[in-house]
């Protein structure tokens, strides 16, 4: 296989449970952040991961970058097993896999000038050495993300949120990665600025041949950037499909509800809204059976006791609901 038919990332049964305690003498409880995630990402494509807060999507992304150690399961990147990690493997993968975070200000050291912040990972990962060569590379990266070279001499607080996110992107690109996890990268930005940043990601993808995982709670954002979409609910994958297929024919009732909530740009088009009852349950004590059953408008009696598997319902289309076609 080659090009966009080649899976650069393969994830098998990846799981993360946290032991939490609410007091010194309290009995620890298990929070099931991610359960048995199985999926792949093709080279040069974007997998969008969407779901409400608490669905496990950010935890999943951080496990892939070794920022959180998984409880169980495995994953491989370009044929390299990610777990267990060792220092030599981590150093190699740091140059191949990067992350852009939600808060561009928090991810930058306020005491470092922009040029120094971008140069830091270049120097730390041994990509280049020498002040002049690194300075040239910083200027190239600033230009790549649409910032002037003189920005290198300014501090983060002198920039807007959109500009700081461009700096965060330049910093991630400094080691010439192949794969980037983008975690809620436009959620803190104004809508007009969001579009600019999303267009920048699209341009960089084509220009540099990048592969993305794009994490967001906003289905409109995910629709704009994704080749394939994975929907998560309470730590589980409930649906995976090519983006066009997912929007034309969503299978899981949770997916249908999320899509129905997307504002319709044409005021003359009236679409039925599916309102979800209640809040997402606690990941410490998720519902028995189907985890979505307590909020599902299609739920049947057996849904509270039978835990459905993620099964194929079409080419490249998988759903965790046996009644999704009724």
SS3 state at 295:
coil
Residue 2 predicted with pLDDT over 80: no
Measured in degrees and rounded to the nearest 5, phi and psi for residue 231 equal -100, 130
Q: What is the pLDDT of residues 85-113, one digit of tens each?
A: 888 888 889 899 999 998 777 778 899 99
pLDDT class of 5 with cuts at 50, 70, 90 = low
Give the Cα separation of 34 and 53 in Å (integer).
13
Quote the pLDDT of residue 126.
Answer: 86
Handedness of CA 266, 267, 272, 275 (dihedral sign): positive
Q: What is the pLDDT of residues 243-273, one digit of tens each?
A: 999 999 999 999 999 999 887 765 455 567 8
Joined tokens for residue 41: 């990402």
Q: Is the pLDDT of residue 204 over 80?
A: yes
The closest alpha carbon to 69, from 55, 86, 50, belongs to 86
pLDDT bucket at 20, cuts 50 / 70 / 90: confident
CATH hierarchy code of domain 3-319 = 3.40.50.300
Burial class (CB in 10 A: 0-12, 13-18, 19+), 293: buried
State pLDDT tens for residues 123-143.
988 888 888 999 999 999 999
pLDDT of residue 271: 67
Listed by start position, the domains of the chain span 3-319
Torsion of CA 201, 207, 208, 209, to 10 degrees: 90
The predicted-structure confidence for 282-316, as pLDDT tens digits, reads as follows: 999 999 899 999 999 899 999 999 999 999 999 99
Using an 8 Å Cβ cutoff, are 130 and 136 in contact?
A: no
pTM for this predicted structure: 0.93
Average pLDDT along the chain: 91
DSSP reduced 3-state for 213: strand
Contacts of 160 (CB under 8 A, 6+ apart): 193
For 152-197, write each residue's pLDDT tens digit: 999 999 999 999 999 999 999 999 999 999 999 999 899 889 999 9
């Amino acid at each position: 296989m080659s090009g966009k038919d080649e899976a650069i990332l393969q994830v098998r049964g990846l799981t993360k449970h946290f032991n939490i305690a609410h007091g010194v003498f309290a009995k620890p409880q298990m929070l099931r952040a991610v359960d048995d995630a199985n999926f792949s990402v093709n080279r040069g494509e974007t997998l969008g991961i969407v779901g409400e807060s608490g669905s496990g999507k950010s935890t999943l992304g951080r496990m892939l970058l070794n920022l959180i150690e998984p409880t169980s399961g495995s994953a491989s990147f370009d044929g390299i097993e990610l777990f267990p990690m060792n220092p030599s493997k981590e150093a190699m993968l740091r140059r191949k896999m990067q992350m852009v975070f939600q808060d561009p200000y928090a991810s930058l050291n306020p005491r470092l000038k922009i040029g120094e912040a971008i140069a830091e990972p270049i120097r730390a990962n041994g990509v280049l050495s020498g002040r002049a060569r690194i300075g040239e590379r910083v200027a190239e990266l600033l230009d790549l993300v649409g910032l002037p070279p003189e920005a290198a001499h300014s501090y983060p607080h002198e920039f807007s949120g959109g500009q700081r996110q461009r700096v965060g992107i330049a910093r991630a690109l400094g080691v010439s990665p192949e794969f980037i996890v983008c975690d809620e990268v436009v959620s803190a930005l104004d809508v007009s600025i969001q579009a600019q940043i999303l267009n920048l990601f699209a341009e960089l993808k084509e220009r540099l041949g990048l592969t993305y995982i794009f994490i967001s709670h906003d289905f409109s954002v995910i629709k704009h950037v994704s080749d394939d979409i994975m929907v998560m609910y309470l730590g589980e994958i409930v649906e995976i499909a090519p983006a066009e297929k997912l929007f034309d024919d969503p299978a899981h009732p949770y997916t249908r509800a999320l899509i129905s909530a997307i504002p319709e740009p044409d005021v003359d088009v009236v679409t039925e809204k599916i309102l979800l009852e209640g809040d997402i349950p606690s990941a410490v004590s998720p519902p028995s059976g189907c985890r979505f059953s307590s909020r599902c408008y299609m739920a049947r009696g057996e849904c509270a006791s039978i835990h459905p598997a993620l099964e194929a319902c079409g080419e490249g289309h998988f759903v965790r609901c046996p009644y999704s076609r009724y």
